[in-house]
Amino acid sequence: MTDQENPPLWERGMLSVAQREQVTGHRGMVVWFTGLSGSGKTTVARALDHLLHGHGKRSFLMDGDVLREGITSDLGFSPEDRTENLRRFTEVARLFANAGTITLVSAISPYEASRQQAKERIGSERFLMVHVATPLEVCEARDVKGLYAKARAGELKQFTGIDAPYEEPVNPDLKLVPEDGDPGVMAHAVYDALVAGGFLGGE
């Protein structure tokens, strides 16, 4: 057999997603958390990340605020920049999912079109949309970062929910409201949805 017929491993095709999932023992996918600033989406995503890790699953949390410090640091908050911001989120999340990782995206992601594009790009069969539907008045009452106060005072422009729109998901896979319980309870609800959807291997 010639070298051409039996090339070195590094010259052969890339590992498939299925091969990588054999190692993780579960499907690579994206759980996309959307909601207003202060809705609790990142807190729920963190709780889910810990829950998955505790069950031996490979997961990774992509927080919108963190990505804006690096990958999307050149973007502002205009409609065009928000769209590009989510396009980059989508591409990074897709790469993680292709590596067999349960990728948790926590981003306001205010536009339905951008969320649908993310679902189509990643693949509907490995995409779970979670709407953390905390009402604006509750988010504003929390105002953990003081952002709503600045937006109301006119010191912060193009703030989602105040002078920039938030389009609620038309048909999310899971909708969480404050009455559902604390972030830990909500995280378990998402975990149960992953189990029911057959995303977590043998569970």
Residues designated catalytic: 109
What tokens appear for 178 in the block?
A: 């404050």
Assign residue 100 a region: left if phi > 0, alpha if psi is -120 to 50, beta otherwise?
Answer: left
Q: Please, are residues 108 and 34 in contact by the beta-carbon 8 Å criterion?
A: yes
118 vs 155: CA distance, rounded Å: 31
Q: Please, are residues 103 and 59 in contact by the beta-carbon 8 Å criterion?
A: yes
Q: Please, are residues 110 and 167 in contact by the beta-carbon 8 Å criterion?
A: yes
For 161, the 3-state DSSP assignment is coil
